[in-house]
Amino acid sequence: MPKDFLKKSISLILQRQNNILSAAFVIMATIIFSQVLGLIRQRLLASIFGASNTLGIYFASSKMPEFLFQLIIAGALSSAFIPVFSDFLAKGKEKEAHNVASTLLALSLIIFCIFAVFLFIFAHGISAILAPGFSPEQLDLMTSLTRIIIFGEIIFIVGSFLSAMLQSYNHFFIPGIASSLYNLGIILSILFLHETFGIYSAAYGVILGALIFVLAQVPLIRKLGFSFRPTLSLDFIKNSAVMDIFKLIWPRTLSIAIFQLGTLVTVTLVSYLQNPGRNYVILDFAQTLAFAPVALIGQSIAQAAFPVLSKEKDRLSDFKVTFMTSFTQLLYLILPISILLLVLRIPLVRLVYGASAFDWDATVLTGRTLAFFSISLFAQALSYLTSRGFYALHDTKTPLVIGAITTFLMIITSAIFIFVYQFGIESIALAFSIGSILNFLIMFIFLDIKVGGFDKKTFLINMSKISLASFFTAFALYVPIKLLDQLVFDTTKTVNLILLTGISSFIGLSLYLFLTWLFNVKEATMFVLLFKRIGDWRQILKKSEETIDGTRLNP
């Protein structure tokens, strides 16, 4: 019996996800697992280092290596490698696909290492430019941490290429779990090394996490027959289809660069605040909580809808139906979560980061910052879908230009809040939300024009119903949490705090589901049916539907 269970478990892990729904399910499940480990990592850092300048410097030190990775690797993987590799596989040219992978990996490592050596040598000067408000001692610490984290990013490149290859083979579980285990490496390093190495344990954890990320994927990648044999031959570029894909690289890479530049400038702005390291901890902790539902819902739905939208680019009527269906589903899920984060911000911050080292003032400020982030969660999530709409229509330039403009506006707004009005760290979150909402609205308007107009009447009716239900949900969350806090529970105890948050969330979300069902919102009916059939989830996932490669599964 144990052997049969083990075999079935291994078979489930190694099997391919051939349809969109099962792929989306696996992606969402691994994202949840990754976020749980990420929150454990943050809680551990908060319990050991608190909202200290030291922890803030660690967060700031990771930004420049991450900027290089995103700039050099992320755009190439999403825009060039995966399409080229998948194209060779589709044509039965697996050996050529593996040669392409080896060559691109070698080139990426060489290019990244050139920049990494430059960053390693001039880390102190770059840190001083990036965070001019830090003291000399803080800059020295930031420099040392940056140099350690660089090595982790080099290893992470290898893992990212392995993930891209496995995804091209329609394997999503192992790459997702491996990515999640990156956080596990950081957690283990902090747990066992923090007493000896202090904050350096977190930086060493980046290297350990990257190694785990790679090693967790090696068995399956070897099973698929891949071995790293770089030839540094660029003959594959002669393929005309590949050349078309490479033409799409520069806007995607530039788009990533602009967003990452905004992140770097944020570090600079925060460094001018009093206790910059502490303020950066608060900003990072608030972002972690706010962006979790965006990644879970926005990325999952957008990633699942993207292949369908791509196939429908020449049938705009179908494209518009698919887009607006995904749009409404995304809005239906993200709005109540935004309300929940806004109303329950303090209990949530206490539950996730509550530790003796994380003081009450830091808790309140993190909650306020989270509130300002939460007002734009819908825009952040919908921006993923809207940008995928443009990409499906082979238009990567429009999102680039709009993103550049709104990022510039966000930076200017943040600077005005800090230098003119002398606002605190929460003003960064407010500026980010303003920029995110503008980015989404402008992109949606341009996409609407590009496709000849969406069905705005149906869209406005659905949006009004969902927004009205969300409004009443806010009261359904606020009233019980106040009554229970003052009359029933002693929230200084963790168990009571969990009960308070859980009961309030259940009441609020139940009312939201009831109201949207009462208002005849299609998504509410769908979820009610899903709950009734939750025991048949395997059959639901295996139903006839669009597959990832554009064919259909047999019923």
- Report the 3 state secondary structure along 439-504: HHHHHHHHHHHHCCCCCHHHHHHHHHHHHHHHHHHHHHHHHHHHHHHHHCCCCCCHHHHHHHHHHH
**Among candidate residues 229, 49, 251, 83, the one with its CA nearest the CA of residue 165:** 83
CB atoms within 10 A of CB 455: 12
CB-hemisphere CA count at 13 Å for 363?
A: 18
Consecutive H or E run containing 197: helix 173-197
Residue with tokens 């520069």: 250
Question: What pLDDT is attached to residue 299?
Answer: 81
How confident is residue 42, by pLDDT bands cut at 50, 70 and 90? very high
Instruction: Specify the range with the lowest mean pLDDT, choosing from 32-46, 172-186, 299-313, 463-477.
Output: 299-313
Query: Counting every residue, how long is the chain?
Result: 555
Residue with tokens 């999102």: 399
pLDDT in tens, 74-116: 766 655 676 667 767 777 888 877 877 787 788 888 889 999 9
Question: What pLDDT is attached to residue 241?
Answer: 43
Contact 84, 246 (CB under 8 A): no
C-alpha–C-alpha distance, residues 500 and 482, integer Å: 9
C-alpha–C-alpha distance, residues 315 and 335, integer Å: 30
Contact 17, 546 (CB under 8 A): no
Buried b (16+ CB within 10 A) or exposed e, 211-227: bbbbebbeebbeeeebe
Strand partners, 391: none
C-alpha–C-alpha distance, residues 310 and 20, integer Å: 13
Q: Does residue 128 carry a pLDDT above 90?
A: yes
- Report the 3 state secondary structure along 15-79: CCCCEHHHHHHHHHHHHHHHHHHHHHHHHHHHHHHCCCHHHHHHHHHCHHHHHHHHHHHHHHHHH
What is the 3-state composition of the chain as percent helix, strand, coil, each rounded to the nearest 5? 85, 0, 15
CB atoms within 10 A of CB 538: 8
Residue with tokens 């290492």: 113
Question: What pLDDT is attached to residue 3?
Answer: 56
Please compute the mean of the pLDDT values over residues 225-247 and round it to a whole number: 60
**Among candidate residues 379, 513, 369, 352, the one with its CA nearest the CA of residue 434:** 379
Q: Does residue 332 carry a pLDDT above 50?
A: yes
CA distances from 51 to 56, 276, 373 (A): 8, 11, 19
Compute the Cα dihedral for 513, 518, 523, 526 and give only its sign.
positive
pTM: 0.83
pLDDT in tens, 187-223: 999 999 999 999 999 999 999 999 999 999 999 999 9
Question: What pLDDT is attached to residue 176?
Answer: 86
Structure tokens at 549: 């490669």
Residue 231, helix vs strand vs coil = coil
Percentage of the chain exceeding pLDDT 70: 82
Amino acid in the structure at residue 300: S
CB atoms within 10 A of CB 397: 15
Residue 471: which residues within 8 A CB-CB, separation 6 or more?
Answer: none
